[in-house]
Amino acid sequence: MNEITGMADNTVIDGRYRIVRRIADGGMATVYQAVDNRLNRTVALKIMHAQLAQGPHAEEYIQRFQREAQSAASVSNSHIVPVYDTGTFQNRSYLVMELIDGVTLRQKIQENGTFSIGWSLEILSQVLDGLAAAHAHQVIHRDIKPENIMISRQGIVKITDFGLAKATSQETLSSTGMLLGTASYLAPETIENNYSSPQSDLYAVGIMGWEMIMGTVPFVSSNPVTVVFKHVHDDVPPLDKVNPSVPRQFSSFIAHLTERDPAHRPANGQEALTALKDMRASLTADEINLRIRPSDYQSRITKPVKQTSKQTDGFSSMGARSHSPEAAANYSVPQSLSDPTAIVHVKKTISADRIAATSQVTAEKTEKRRSASKKKRFSGRLRISGALVLVLALAALILWWFLSGPGSYYTLPLSQDATCTNNAESSSQTCSIVGSKFSDYRTILNDSGIPYTVAYQYSDTVAKGKIISGTPHTVGDHISKRHGTVHLVVSRGVHMITIPADIINPHSKNGKNPIKTLKSLGFDSISHNLSDDQYSATVPKGGLIYINPSAGKRISHNTRIRLILSLGPKPVAMPDIVGEEWAKAKAMLAEARLKVTVVQVYSSTVKKGVVIKASLKAGAQIHWNDTVTVTLSKGPETLTVPDVVGMDVDKAKSLLKSKGFTVKEKNTLGLGTTVIDQSLKAGSRVKAADDNGNPPTIVLTVSLFSW
C-alpha cells in the first residue's frame, strides 16, 4: 500500500464493497477487484488517487469521474462497460463497474504484433457498434485507444474509460483549453481547435485499425509534439500504399475514417459500422485471412511477446489468462454467468476431501495412541479401541452429512407472498415462489446464502418485479451446495412500445414498410384489411394513409393497431379532350387527377380556346398524377400593317416582307421611288395567312413625287 493506491486488501468501501486485490494503477485511479457484499458479485472498483482528490485540481478530476459514470450509465450497449454505482469514500471518488475477465487491445497488439484483416474487422465492428450507441445518445468518448478497448475471454469487445466523454452539445475539450487524450490517436481538429465530435472518435478507430494491420501507428516519434504535428499536417498513409497486399477496399475504409477533414469522415458510429459491413461483404476469403507480418516499416516501441506455440491473432488466443494482475480487464461479468443480465451469488461450502483428511489424521493419531498402549493393561486397549471406533463413526457421519445428508444441499425457502395449495389426500400444503415479489425474495436468498441467477422477461400476466418461473420453484426443494443454483425469471411487466413518429412518412426508413416496422418492434396485434386500402395521389404504394393509435403513442405490444395503406395513384383512362373548349377539357383532366402542361399555338383552322391535340391518346391507361401536354389554339395569327407611305420603295418592301407580307408594286410613271399609297391601311390587323396558308398581299403605289 502506498500514497497512490492507498487501499489494503479486505478494506470495505461504504460498508458494501470489499477489496480483494489490486488489478492495475492508472494515471488518475487504481482499479481493484472487489466483491459487492450486498449482491454477492465480483465487480471492478475504480478509486481516485488520494493525491489527485486532495490536490489543487481536485474538482476537475472529480468532474471527470462523474462524467465517466454519467456517460456510461446513459448508454446501454453490450460493447460498453456499464457503471453500476458511484460514490465517495475518505474524500476519494470511486466507480463500481462490470469486471471484464480478459485483456486490453494494447496487450493483444503487444502479444500478436499484427492481426489478420478478418480479426481486425471483428474488433472494429464491435467498437463501432458501441460508439454507434454512444453517438445516438449524443455522447462522444474522446479517448478511443487500445488501452481503453477490453477483450473478454469469450472474445467480446467492450469500450471503457468514458472519463473524457462529453455530450455533442459540449464538444470543446475543456474550459481551460487543456488538450486531453493520447497523441497517437488525437484527431487533427482536436489538436488544432480543441474540438471533438463523433468523427473524432472515428479518426481514433481508424488509427487503431491501421495499427492492428501494420503493428504500429502511422506516425511514430519519441517526441509527442512531432506526432501531433504530423496528424495535423500529414495524411495518414494509405495501407495499400504502405503494403500492396492490403485489400484496396479495407485500405479505403481506414482512409475514410482517418480523413484530416472531419466533414469527409462518416457522420457517426452507425454510418461507419454500415460502411464496414458493406466493405467486408466485398472481401474474398483469402483477403479476410490475410495477415501482414511485422516488417522493417514498423518502428515498434513495444515488441510482440514471443510464444512457445504457434502465434495466432484470433479470439482463441484472447481466451488465455494473463499471469499478471494488470492483464485482467477493468470491468466484467463472471465467466460462469452465460446470461449477461444475471446476478450470481456463491457461498463457500466445506470440502468433503477436507473432512476426509481430518478423519484420516484423527485415525492416525488414535492408532499411535493404541500402539503406545500395548504395554498397558487389556482394559486400556479396549478403551482406546472404543475411542477409535467412535471417531471413525463420527467421521463417517460428518462425511454423510456434507455429501448426501442435509449439509449437502440448500432448501428453497418460503417467500412471504408464496402461492400455496392444499393437498387433500395428504393433508399437506405445497407452496411455490412463482408470483412472489423478487426484491423481497432476493433478500431471503442472500440471507440464506443460496446462489441464484436472474433473467428478465416481459409478461402480460405477471406484474413487473414478480417471479414468472423458477428452477426449482417449489418451497422445500433441494439445491446442491456443490453445483446447484436457483434460476429465476422475473417479469419486466407488460412490454410497452412507442409507435415511431416517422412511420407516417412514406420516404422514411420506418414508413417505407409500416407493417414490417411494427412487427419488428414487437407489436403483435396489427389489423390491416386489403379491402380498406385506398388510392392516393400523394402517398406512394405501401405508404401509410391512416393509423390508430396515432404515431408517437406509447402502447402495450398487444394493443390493436389499425392500418390503412396506400394503393398508390389510381389507374384512369385518358379523357377525349381534342376539339373541346379549354374550360370543359380542364374540368375533364381535373376529374382524372392529371397534371397538365399547356402549350398555346396559332391556328387558322381551330377556334381560339379549343384543344388542338393532347400528348396522350383518348382512352390510354394512365394514373393519377401522370402528366399530359395539351396543345391549345390561340386562333389565327394576325399581322399589324406598318405605315410605309413616304418611304423609299425598296426599304418599304424589305420592312413588309420581314413582317410576313407579300408586296406588289404599282408605279404610275415608271420612274418613281417613293411610296405614295398602300392598299392595306396602316395600323390595321390582317390574318397572317389565308385558308390556303398564303400570306397577305399589300400593293404599294410608287411615284416620282410625294403628294
The residue with greater pLDDT, 168 or 192, is 192
Q: How far apart are CA 612 and CA 605, in angstroms?
A: 10
Q: Output the pLDDT for position 308.
A: 34
Residue 703 has what pLDDT?
Answer: 84
Burial class (CB in 10 A: 0-12, 13-18, 19+), 258: buried
- Count Cα neighbours of 278 within 13 Å in the Cβ-side half-sphere: 8
Helices 269-281 and 248-257, packing angle to 10 deg: 170
DSSP 341-408: T----------HHHHHHHHHHHHHHHHHHHHHGGGS-HHHHHHHHHHHHHHHHHHHHHHHHHHTSGGG
For residues 201-220, average pLDDT: 96
Q: Find cell 478507430 and name the residue.
A: 205
Q: Which residues contact 82 (CB under 8 A, 6 or more apart)?
A: 72, 73, 76, 97, 98, 331
Angle at 190 between CA 189 and CA 193, to 5 degrees: 65
Contact criterion met (CB below 8 Å) for 523 and 488: no
Q: What is the pLDDT of residues 606-616, one digit of tens each?
A: 899 999 999 99
Report the distance separating Cα 555 and Cα 564, nearest Å.
Answer: 19
Which pLDDT belongs to residue 53? 65
What pLDDT, in 10s, does the model give residues 546-566? 999 999 999 999 999 999 999
Please list the alpha-helical segments (H only) found in 309-351.
315-318
Q: Report H helices in 215-334.
A: 224-233, 239-242, 248-257, 269-281, 285-289, 315-318
pLDDT tens for 591-607 read 999 999 999 998 878 89
Q: How far apart are the first and last CA of the chain?
A: 130
Per-residue pLDDT averaged across 435-450, rounded?
90
Would you say residue 679 has pLDDT above 60?
yes
- CA distances (Å), 372 to each of 367, 380, 391, 398, in order? 9, 11, 18, 28
Report helix, strand or coil for 629.
strand
- Neighbour-count burial for 94-133, b at 16+ CB within 10 Å, e otherwise: bbbbbbbbbbbbbbbbbbbbbbbbbbbbbbbbbbbbbbbb
Query: Residue 20 pLDDT > 50, yes or no?
Result: yes
The pLDDT assigned to 706 comes to 57
Q: What are the cell numbers at 331?
A: 470491468
Residue 154 vs residues 23, 333, 334, 421: alpha-carbon distances, Å: 20, 11, 11, 45
**In DSSP terms, which residues pair with 32 in a beta bridge?**
22, 45
* Catalytically active residues, by annotation: 143
Nearest one of 686, 693, 685 to 604, comparing CA atoms = 693
C-alpha cell of residue 1: 500500500
> Residue 5: which pLDDT band, with cuts at 50, 70 and 90?
very low
What tens digit of pLDDT does each residue of 27-84 get? 778 899 999 999 999 999 999 887 776 666 667 777 777 776 677 767 888 999 988 8
Length of the chain: 707
- The verdict on whether omega for the bond into residue 244 sits within 30 degrees of 0, i.e. cis, is no
Out of 229-233, 303-307, 498-502, pick the least confident. Answer: 303-307
Q: What would the 3-class secondary structure string for 36-88 be?
A: ECCCCEEEEEEEECHHHHCCCCHHHHHHHHHHHHHHHHHCCCCCECCEEEEEE
Residue 420, pLDDT score: 86
Helices (H), 522-648: 582-591
Q: What is the pLDDT of residues 56-71, one digit of tens each?
A: 666 777 777 777 667 7
Q: Residue 593 has what pLDDT?
A: 92
Within 10 angstroms of residue 399's Cβ, the number of other Cβ atoms is: 16
Q: How far is CA 410 from CA 195, 213, 476, 477, in A?
A: 58, 53, 9, 8
State the DSSP string of 392-455: HHHHHHHHHHHHTSGGGEEEPPPPTT-EEEEETTTTEEEEE-TT-BHHHHHHHHHHHT--EEEE
Report the sign of the C-alpha dihedral through residues 285, 287, 288, 290, in that order.
Answer: positive
CB 146 within 8 A of CB 104: yes
SS3 195: strand
| Stretch (H or E) spanning 543 | none
With b meaning 16 or more CB within 10 Å and e meaning fewer, what string describes 444-456?
A: bbbebebbbbbeb
User: For the chain, what is the total number of helices (H) and then of strands (E)?
Assistant: 18, 33
Residue pair 99/51 in contact by the 8 Å Cβ criterion: no
- Note the pLDDT of residue 381: 60
pLDDT for position 330: 32
C-alpha to C-alpha distance for 159 and 177, rounded to whole angstroms:
26
Give the C-alpha separation, 144 to 125, whole Å.
Answer: 14
pLDDT digits (tens, 9 = 90+) for 262-315: 999 999 999 999 999 999 999 999 999 999 987 544 544 333 333 333 334 433
Q: For residues 178-199, give the mean pLDDT.
A: 80
Separation CA 38–CA 445 (nearest Å): 12
Contact by Cβ (8 Å): 87, 297 = no
Per-residue pLDDT at 426: 59
Averaged confidence pLDDT in the chain? 81
Task: State the cell numbers at 302.
Answer: 513495444
